[in-house]
Amino acid sequence: MSFVSTLRQWDEAVACVEQRDPDAALRIFLSIEEKNSKIAFNIGCLCLNNSDLDEAEKAFDGSIGKDEHLAVAFFQRGVTFYKKEKFEESLLDFQQAFKQLRGNQLIDYTPLGLRYKLYACEVLHNIGLAQAQLGKWEKAQENLLTALSLRADAKFSHIDHALDAILKHKLFPLVEVRAGLLFKPNKKYVAELEKRDYLGKAKVVASVVPADEFSGFAPLQPQIDNVPSIPKVPEVLRVLEGEPHTVLYEFVPETKEELAVLPGNIVFVLHRGTDNWASVVFNEKRGLVPYNFLEPLDIVTMTSKPVETEALNENDDIPAPPRRAAPSRPVAPEGLKTVNAKTVNTREFSGCVVKVHFQFTIAIAIAHGQPYGVILQMISSKLKLPASTLTLRYAKEGSAERVIIEDSEMEAVWNSAKDGRLTLWCSVTEGKSASHAKVVALYSYESSTPEDLEFKQGNVITVLSKVNDEWLEGQCNGKIGIFPSSFVEPLNGDPHTSAE
């Protein structure tokens, strides 16, 4: 079976699940001849949801056989063994799933097509449950305490309940992958399955002129008798909207909303505001021009009479400048500022723009006087890095020294802000990010899908997790994605020696 056929059946089966027809989806998956690890995992999940535990175990065996680093497959097979009351086998699979996490708090399978995050704390939760079933209450308590220290969100409150149950030598519910979650095929490849007609339908064009033997792509030339000796004055067509005006003076824009025009240009005024600014169209571009730079244009007069022009000296290359000086620019009322063609009351704006220098520069808007924790959390969310790994510094007033920011320094930090602007420097604290290995790119890699991480030769990449033997997940230039492990090698020495 070809890859295209497999892809088409895979996409069709996932669509059946989304339409709540899992039986049809399972039939389609089983009919695929060459099942990869993800398809075998999907079959196992559908069988597990149908309580067909023997077939589910067989499918997960096939998935792990094709990808021995697929932690979520070990996790699901451990769930299958637990439901079959094979607690020893279940414990081994949960421990293997935890091993494949390689010290990370979670593995996000979204880039691979499965909208699921496998958390270390939930794997330890199930390890503790399997140990409790085997009567190993002390070891179960140790694993749940570790899970409690690794949980990153309040949504894992079930770990607290599990620990309370263990202390009373009672069992607790098992954590499972939600029913209906399956690996989906790559969207880019699925889009290529649609047939496209790039040529379109042919059209037959015939000449309506008798005895016209011309063939080719030249436009048809009308052939009429009694051609008038004086050409007809062409009609002036008005644009669909707007009134024509002549530009009297050169206008140089100062914002991207304004439009550059020269004397003699003809523009079409769409709207004239009370602030003396006019919204005009010129050369298919729309923008703002002062209305006192314009003069209404009479189309009828222009077409019926030749325009009287002042005679030019034969040595003159360009027309003489206007005799009158250009009027001044319109001024908005005090306290108002034009931003993106909208009027904003600047007197109501009390915030501060914080520029943060990292491996790249970002900017955030924040209310003046916010505490250190709020600023740190906003920068953490912007950089998509844990707040605990970030260190912020600011330039002390009257000194070039960059001081580490703490809660006690916040008053001095805000005092250093000028004109609603504050500059900070951000770095990753050494030691806290050392758990992530650093690699250097041997070759440039261009992304072919949104899940890929693009980088150039010599870039330093932080490895976040190992997807399988051929693919890694990493971060480079503020972006996170997967990339081939053969394109990189371990970095020896200081990572700052290679510019990112």
How much is the pLDDT for 299? 57
pLDDT in tens, 394-428: 887 777 778 888 777 888 888 888 888 888 888 87
Q: Which of 239, 273, 193, 139 is nearest to 6 (CA)?
A: 193
30 and 173 housed in the same domain? yes
CA dihedral sign, ordered 60, 65, 66, 72: positive
Span 221-260, pLDDT tens digits:
555 555 555 555 444 444 446 788 999 988 888 888 899 9
Based on the domain organization, do 413 and 445 belong to the same domain? Answer: no
Q: Are residues 413 and 472 in the same domain?
A: no
- Shared-domain flag, residues 133 and 247: no
- Do 114 and 174 belong together in one domain? yes
Q: Which of 392, 419, 446 is the last residue of a domain?
A: 419
Residues 22 and 76 in one domain: yes
In a domain, 247, yes or no: yes
pLDDT value for 301: 43
Q: What is the CATH number of the domain that holds 479?
A: 2.30.30.40
- Is residue 19 domain-shared with residue 133, that is, in the same domain? yes
Average pLDDT over residues 155-170: 86
Reported confidence tier of residue 217, pLDDT bands at 50, 70, 90: low
Q: How far does the chain reach from its first CA to its final CA, in angstroms?
A: 43
pLDDT at 473: 85
Model pLDDT for residues 314-362, shown as the tens digit of each residue: 555 555 555 556 666 666 545 444 444 344 444 444 578 888 888 777 8
Q: Are residues 363 and 477 in the same domain?
A: no
pTM beyond 0.85: the answer is no
Q: Residue 408 in contact with residue 402, Cβ under 8 Å? A: no
pLDDT at 360: 73
pLDDT band at 452 (very low <50, low <70, confident <90, very high): confident
Q: Which domain holds residue 449?
A: 438-497
Interval 71-91 mean pLDDT: 93
Look up the CATH number of the domain holding residue 358: 3.10.20.90
* Amino acid 496: pLDDT: 40
Residues 23 and 104 in one domain: yes
345 part of a folded domain: no
Residue 381 sits in the same domain as residue 481: no
Mean predicted confidence (pLDDT) in 66-70: 90
Question: Is the per-residue pLDDT at 87 higher than 90?
Answer: yes
Residue 431 forms part of a structural domain = no
Q: Looking at 366, 386, 419, which one is the last position of a domain?
A: 419
pLDDT-derived band of residue 103, with 50, 70 and 90 as boundaries?
confident
User: Do 42 and 149 share a domain, yes or no?
Assistant: yes
Q: Which of 10-19, 115-124, 396-405 has the lowest mean pLDDT?
A: 396-405
In single-letter form, the type of residue at position 500 comes to: E
Mean pLDDT estimate for the chain: 78
Q: How many structural domains does the chain have?
A: 4
Mind listing the pLDDT tens digit for each residue in 24-49? 989 998 988 888 999 999 999 999 99
In-domain check, residue 317? no
What's the confidence (pLDDT) of residue 321? 54
Of the pLDDT bands very low, low, confident and very high (cuts 50, 70, 90), residue 128 is very high
Query: 131 and 85, same structural domain?
Result: yes
Residue 276 pLDDT class (50, 70, 90 cuts): confident
Q: Can you read off the two tokens belonging to residue 444?
A: 């440039």
Rounded Cα distance between 94 and 494, Å, is 37
Return the half-sphere exposure (C-beta side, CA atoms, 13 A cut-off) of residue 401: 7
Look at residue 426 and tell me if it is in a domain: no
Of the three residues 263, 298, 333, the one that is the final residue of a domain is: 298
- Could you tell me which residue, 78 or 330, shows the higher pLDDT? 78
b/e string for 231-240 if b means 16 or more Cβ within 10 A?
A: eeeeeeeeee
Residue 173 located in a structural domain: yes
Contact between 125 and 175 under an 8 Å Cβ cutoff? The reply is yes
- Pairing assessment for the beta strands 285-290 and 277-282 based on DSSP bridges: antiparallel
Banded model confidence at residue 53, pLDDT cuts 50, 70, 90: very high
pLDDT of residue 468: 80
CATH number of the domain residue 174 falls in: 1.25.40.10
Each residue's pLDDT tens digit, 467-479 = 787 888 888 887 8
Structure confidence at residue 343 (pLDDT): 43
Q: Which of 7-11, 185-189, 202-206, 258-262 has the highest mean pLDDT?
A: 258-262
Q: Does residue 489 or residue 337 have the better pLDDT?
A: 489
Domain presence at residue 315: no
Q: Is residue 458 part of a domain?
A: yes
